[in-house]
């Protein structure tokens, strides 16, 4: 994976010094909270319901075992023993003390990590496919391009005061594990007819209160020019994105209001002016970064079979292990969704264990997924059982990837100052209701996503079943939506009908699922496919009938 050189390190260290100075001025009351707010937000520090929350960037969701061990140590030292992995492939700590934040950032900087641009109206952490580099279906490793984007977007002088936050995702396969069409910019690496590498450029996707699926604005931009092309997109957005209404300030609204064709014309016109300025990093820089993502030393003699004689292990393999491009290896997903747990939470001890297991079984590397799980991407098939045993002992081997209990949930009203309703208890109640593994496996792939407010951090628009918590006359109420997807078949979920109480929504989910089981053509027909085939009516009937 990417390692900092002297330049990267000097910049991150300078940022820590700057923030230490700003916190000192704040604690000495030399600056007001109003003046301090934009400064702390540039460093990922939010003031939440009960305490400061710090969001740490995990660029494109890739981190080393060493970094994970430090994240665990930070959870113990500065938080209450937990960290929360997010849908942006980052980690958040919910109980941070302001006076300790500079020391925390210094500990991160010592292992080449930071919280730069994890909040604020700027280009946020770049996200990517959690299987990047190991996926059997990718055209090339997207991470060197994501790292180049990270560097280009860090401390960008023109784009640090955009109309609103800006999220870029990069992927390299037709099977979309990064939800690229639901980002401000989605970049899909592919080859043109001549066999050259370039990006398909999606712009203007997003969730929030006005969800949109991003249109393609350019089928192919060569990899040697994608940075300047992004620069052109950002400039058009910075100049013409709406600033009169925070809820209409994302780029998706601009693209929607002027139309994808006109937006494309403006970007192309801007790019024609920018392209000659040689803004793109040279090929040598790409090669330098790519060398750091060189494939690890795979053992060509690793046996290409898995001993499935342990039935519990076999179930985990069936659900949580994916195909690797190298024979003898597999990709293992560590579920952070134990029944009754908080989706995405990991304790300090779990993080330290995962760090050890990554060092032992997966070339010291870990990935964070946008569905709030972790991945060891390079595990020998003949070591999967040993890995599983160690994970199971720490409650990390729940075989529920993409099943009904693998729920995405935002922090909700338990932590978040923006939330209208709690998300975590709803996720917990649904998981408990469907705790039986045989039942989960019978239901099959079913992605439930829960947001505690209209900002949609829990991706409810992209849920096969989406749940949105709203405030209805002082009471928490939950709306049920069906038919969303964040994968390559991206679609937006549609509201089924009137909302429910917390307990009522769990019952409604169960009714929807039982209706699906009754009407599916066969057990292989997923819930999403069945819904697309029959429409909402049978489910409305089952829930409200």
Contacts to other proteins by CB under 8 A: 5, 7-8, 10-11, 14-15, 17-18, 38-39, 121, 151-163, 235, 238-239, 243, 273-274, 277-279, 281-282, 284-285, 288
Q: Cα angle vertex 358, ends 408, 123, to 5°? A: 50
Q: Tell me the helix, strand and coil percentages in the chain, rounded to 5.
A: 40, 20, 40
* Smallest gap from residue 110 Cβ to other proteins (A): 18
Cβ contact 344:86 at 8 Å: yes
* Smallest gap from residue 270 Cβ to other proteins (A): 9
79 or 231: CB nearest other proteins: 231
* Smallest gap from residue 232 Cβ to other proteins (A): 11
37 or 439: CB nearest other proteins: 37
* Ramachandran area for residue 113 (φ above 0: left; ψ -120 to 50: alpha; else beta): beta
How far apart CA 532 and CA 515 sit, in angstroms, is 14
List the beta bridge partners of residue 55: 92
How far apart CA 74 and CA 69 sit, in angstroms, is 9
Give the helix/strand (H/E) hosting 432: helix 424-433
Positive or negative CA dihedral for 407, 95, 19, 72? negative
* Smallest gap from residue 239 Cβ to other proteins (A): 5
Nearest one of 109, 114, 95, 89 to 46, comparing CA atoms? 95
* Ramachandran area for residue 456 (φ above 0: left; ψ -120 to 50: alpha; else beta): left
* Smallest gap from residue 121 Cβ to other proteins (A): 7
Distances in Å between the Cα of 162 and the Cα atoms of 35, 71, 369 are 19, 30, 27
List the beta bridge partners of residue 323: 330
Cβ contact 466:495 at 8 Å: no
* Smallest gap from residue 36 Cβ to other proteins (A): 10
163 or 198: CB nearest other proteins: 163
**Start-to-end CA span in the chain (Å):** 54
* Smallest gap from residue 21 Cβ to other proteins (A): 8
How far apart CA 91 and CA 337 sit, in angstroms, is 15
* Smallest gap from residue 542 Cβ to other proteins (A): 48
28 or 278: CB nearest other proteins: 278
* Smallest gap from residue 25 Cβ to other proteins (A): 10
Cβ contact 450:441 at 8 Å: no
């Amino acid at each position: 994976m990417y390692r900092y050189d002297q330049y990267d390190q000097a910049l991150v260290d300078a940022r820590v010094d700057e923030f230490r100075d700003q916190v000192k001025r704040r604690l000495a009351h030399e600056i007001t909270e109003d003046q301090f707010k934009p400064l702390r937000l540039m460093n990922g520090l939010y003031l939440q319901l009960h305490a400061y929350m710090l969001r740490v960037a995990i660029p494109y969701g890739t981190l080393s075992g060493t970094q994970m061990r430090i994240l665990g140590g930070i959870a113990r030292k500065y938080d209450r023993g937990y960290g929360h992995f997010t849908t942006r492939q980052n980690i958040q700590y919910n109980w941070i003390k302001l006076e300790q934040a500079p020391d925390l950032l210094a500990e991160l900087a010592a292992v080449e990590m930071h919280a730069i641009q994890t909040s604020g109206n700027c280009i946020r952490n770049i996200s990517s496919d959690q299987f990047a580099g190991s996926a059997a279906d990718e055209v090339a490793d997207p991470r060197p391009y994501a790292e180049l984007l990270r560097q280009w977007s860090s401390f960008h002088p023109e784009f640090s005061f955009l109309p609103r936050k800006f999220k870029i995702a990069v992927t390299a396969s037709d099977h979309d594990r990064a939800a690229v069409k639901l980002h401000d910019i989605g970049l899909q690496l592919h080859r043109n007819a001549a066999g050259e590498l370039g990006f398909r450029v999606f712009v203007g996707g997003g969730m929030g209160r006005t969800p949109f699926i991003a249109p393609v604005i350019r089928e192919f931009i060569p990899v040697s020019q994608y940075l300047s092309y992004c620069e052109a997109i950002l400039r058009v957005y910075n100049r013409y994105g709406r600033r009169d209404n925070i809820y209409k300030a994302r780029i998706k609204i601009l693209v929607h209001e002027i139309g994808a064709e006109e937006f494309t014309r403006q970007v192309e016109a801007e790019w024609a002016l920018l392209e000659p300025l040689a803004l793109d990093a040279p090929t040598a820089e790409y090669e330098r970064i790519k060398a750091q993502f060189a494939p690890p030393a795979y053992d060509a003699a690793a046996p290409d079979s898995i001993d499935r004689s342990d039935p519990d292990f076999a179930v985990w393999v069936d659900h949580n292990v994916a195909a690797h491009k190298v024979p003898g290896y597999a990709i293992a997903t560590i579920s952070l969704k134990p029944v009754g747990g908080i989706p995405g939470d990991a304790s300090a001890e779990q993080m330290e264990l995962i760090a050890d297991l990554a060092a032992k079984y997966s070339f010291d590397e870990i990935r964070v997924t946008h569905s709030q799980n972790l991945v060891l991407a390079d595990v020998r098939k003949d070591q999967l059982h040993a890995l599983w045993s160690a994970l199971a002992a720490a409650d990390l081997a729940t075989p529920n990837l993409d099943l009904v209990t693998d729920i995405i949930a935002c922090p909700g009203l338990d932590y978040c100052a923006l939330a209208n309703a709690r998300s975590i208890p709803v996720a917990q109640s649904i998981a408990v209701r469907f705790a039986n593994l045989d039942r989960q496996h019978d239901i099959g792939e079913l992605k439930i996503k829960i947001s505690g407010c209209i900002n949609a951090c829990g991706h409810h628009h992209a849920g096969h079943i989406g749940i949105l918590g709203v405030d209805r006359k002082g009471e928490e109420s939950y709306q049920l939506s069906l038919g969303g997807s964040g994968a390559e078949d991206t679609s937006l979920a549609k509201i089924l009908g009137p909302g429910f109480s917390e307990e009522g929504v769990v019952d409604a989910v169960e009714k929807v699922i039982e209706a699906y089981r009754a009407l599916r053509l066969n057990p292989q027909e997923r819930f999403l496919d069945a819904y697309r085939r029959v429409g909402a009516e049978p489910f409305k009937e089952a829930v409200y009938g």
